[in-house]
């Protein structure tokens, strides 16, 4: 091991470390490029050496922050004997080496958002950086930013912070004024200026200038102008802290530059080939809503419902239609949470039950109900729910998963395959037959949505006739969800056709810039 201060051995159980060039120095702590050699791999690294015991003690106290706050590199080894910390870096490069790739806001803003998130974690623990160089930012292969401005950090309550003021520095730091998180907001604004203009902001800004120069206003990128104005302004006119900057950058990115996500929907239903079934008691409906505001960004919301009515003649058809109408109405004005779904399903249940009582009283004809399955999506999340045996599947990355729960007698036995079983239609829970659905009769789950996901909502007239492997193959071969829904229903009807059959397919698509 070669160090710049004096020869010393760095004995590590994890492996050896080969030092490279000096990078920067903070007080009496020097940072060097390095390579970590272990039995598993060889990775780039940064090594920090403390010359004085007092500085080393401070570095040790602040290492927990590096471990706890996302956006710092991994701590590979700590050597008390050498007063050294080895930080291992993932595949990537120092920012100055890839600067040209991050000039456009599509790549620059996510980088800035990452750094603001890291600084927020640092600020909540009482520390600031006060100065930053581009070479103190590491960019991973997948475009994430790691902060290499590492311990020791200055204490904003102390006035001996000029040793820490390096690279891009807020004017108030240079003039000995009050410091704090707002000073770091300036630092990140200066870094963004470097990214999008390819120049150091010190070439064009002066602490005496009240506002940024006109060059900022000539920037061709919407949103970037506003970020620069709110970060490079005088201290009292800046965004208050890293959290405010993170949120503002995120909104600008989502509104102006993020790839658009949209949902493609297809649905198809058939009465089937059973001559004794004169009505299609299945029903489906879906709604999509897009809204854009500066506060919320782009809101993409959808409600997708499939129901399988029960009761014979027109009663099952009415039960399915009524349940969906009530669910749509209740969820349209509800907050996006599982409790809202449960309350809406109970409201739908009451509506169907009371309609049956109104029509038939307590006579046997009062039996009137429906299964129902639904997905309530609010990008990037989805609440999925069901009562009965109408199913929901999610196809992601070549894996098909049933995310609903069958409320049938067969569902109690995991050993029995309900497909083709004579007792497959014996339901334990449904919407309508009873005054209230027991808590265990409502299944509600929450999942993230990802580009490429396909959601399938299928009545038993479809899923009991088609294997999981076929569903996956049909999805891969279908150009549009409408083609997929139609194919699922047609194949199911051709193979049996004794039940109504309904399929809805929802595909999460990603648009361009």
Distance CA 512, CA 359 (A): 53
Contact call for residues 504 and 264 (beta carbons, < 8 A) = no
Q: What is the pLDDT of residue 65?
A: 94
Reported confidence tier of residue 210, pLDDT bands at 50, 70, 90 = very low
When the pLDDT of each residue in the chain is averaged and rounded to a whole number, the result is: 86
Computed on alpha carbons and rounded to an integer, the radius of gyration of the chain in Å comes to 31
Sign of CA dihedral 430, 435, 438, 439: positive
Q: Say which residue, 359 or 156, is predicted with more confidence.
A: 359
CB-CB neighbours of 335 under 10 Å: 7
pLDDT score of 397 more than 60:
yes
**Residue 121 phi, psi (nearest 5):** -65, -35
Question: In sequence order, what E strands does 69-158 have?
Answer: 74-79, 84-88, 92-94, 131-132, 137-140, 145-147
Segment 335-355, tens digit of pLDDT: 999 999 999 999 999 999 999
Which span out of 147-161, 244-258, 286-300, 411-425 was modeled with the highest average pLDDT?
A: 244-258
SS3 track for 366-382:
HCCEEEEEEEEEECCEE
CB atoms within 10 A of CB 273: 13
d(CA 137, CA 96): 9
Helix (H, G, I), strand (E, B) or coil at 476: helix
What per-residue confidence (pLDDT) applies to 240?
Answer: 93
The residue-averaged pLDDT of 66-83 equals 92
Count other Cβ atoms within 10 Å, centred on residue 33: 17
pLDDT band at residue 164, thresholds of 50, 70 and 90?
low
| pLDDT average, residue stretch 256-263 | 84
Mean pLDDT across 390-419: 81
Task: Report the pLDDT value the prediction gives residue 366, as an integer from 0 to 100.
Answer: 58
What pLDDT sits at residue 160? Answer: 52
Is residue 2 over pLDDT 60?
no
pTM of the model: 0.66
Confidence check: pLDDT of 213 > 90: no
Residue 1 has pLDDT above 70, yes or no: no
Least confident segment among 141-145, 493-497, 508-512: 508-512
**Tens of pLDDT, residues 479-494:** 999 999 999 999 999 9
What distance in Å separates the CA atoms of residue 136 and residue 145, rounded to the nearest whole number? 10
* Residue 282: partners with Cβ closer than 8 Å, 6 or more residues away: 269, 306, 307, 308, 309, 320, 459, 461, 500, 501, 502
């Amino acid at each position: 091991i070669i160090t710049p201060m004096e020869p010393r051995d760095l004995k590590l159980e994890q492996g050896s470390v080969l030092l490279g060039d000096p990078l920067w120095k903070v007080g009496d702590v020097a940072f060097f490029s390095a390579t970590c050699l272990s039995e598993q791999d060889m990775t780039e690294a940064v090594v920090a050496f403390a010359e004085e015991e007092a500085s080393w003690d401070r570095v040790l106290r602040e290492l927990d922050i590096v471990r706890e706050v996302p956006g710092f590199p991994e701590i590979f080894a700590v050597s008390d004997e050498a007063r050294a910390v080895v930080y291992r870096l993932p595949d990537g490069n120092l920012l100055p080496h890839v600067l040209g790739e991050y000039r456009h806001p599509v790549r620059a803003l996510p980088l800035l958002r990452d750094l603001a998130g890291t600084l927020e974690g640092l600020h909540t623990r009482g520390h600031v950086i006060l100065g930053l160089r581009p070479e103190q930012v590491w960019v991973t292969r997948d475009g994430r930013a790691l902060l290499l401005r590492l311990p020791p950090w200055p204490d904003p309550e102390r006035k001996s912070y000029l040793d820490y003021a390096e690279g891009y520095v807020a004017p108030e730091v240079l003039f000995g004024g009050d410091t704090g998180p707002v000073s770091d907001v300036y630092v990140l604004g200066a870094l963004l200026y470097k990214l999008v203009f390819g120049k150091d902001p010190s070439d064009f800004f002066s602490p005496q200038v009240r506002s940024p120069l006109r060059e900022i206003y000539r920037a061709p990128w919407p949103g970037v102008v506003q970020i620069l104005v709110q970060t490079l302004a005088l201290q009292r006119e800046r965004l208050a802290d890293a959290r405010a900057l993170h949120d503002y950058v995120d909104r600008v990115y989502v509104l102006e530059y993020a790839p658009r996500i949209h949902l493609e929907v297809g649905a198809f239903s058939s009465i089937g080939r059973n001559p004794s079934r004169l009505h299609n008691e299945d029903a489906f409906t879906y709604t999509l809503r897009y809204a854009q505001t500066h506060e919320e960004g782009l809101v993409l919301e959808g409600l997708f419902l499939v129901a399988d009515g029960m009761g014979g003649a027109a009663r099952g058809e009415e039960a399915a239609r009524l349940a969906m109408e009530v669910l749509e109405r209740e969820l349209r004005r509800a907050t996006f949470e599982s409790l809202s779904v449960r309350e809406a399903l109970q409201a739908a249940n009451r509506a169907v039950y009371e309609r049956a009582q109104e029509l038939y009283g307590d006579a046997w004809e009062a039996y009137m109900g429906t299964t129902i399955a639904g997905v309530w999506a609010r990008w990037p999340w989805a609440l999925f729910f069901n009562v009965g045996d109408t199913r929901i599947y999610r196809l992601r990355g070549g894996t098909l998963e049933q995310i609903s729960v069958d409320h049938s007698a067969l569902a109690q036995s995991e050993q029995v395959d309900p497909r083709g079983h004579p007792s497959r239609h014996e339901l334990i829970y449904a919407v309508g037959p009873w005054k209230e659905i027991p808590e265990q009769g409502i299944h509600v789950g929450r999942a993230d949505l990802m580009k490429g996901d396909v959601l399938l909502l299928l009545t038993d007239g479809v899923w009991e006739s088609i294997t999981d492997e076929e569903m996956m193959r049909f999805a891969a071969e279908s150009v549009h969800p409408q083609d997929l829904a139609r194919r699922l229903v047609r194949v199911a009807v051709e193979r049996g056709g004794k039940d109504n059959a309904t399929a809805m397919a929802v595909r999460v698509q990603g648009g361009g810039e």
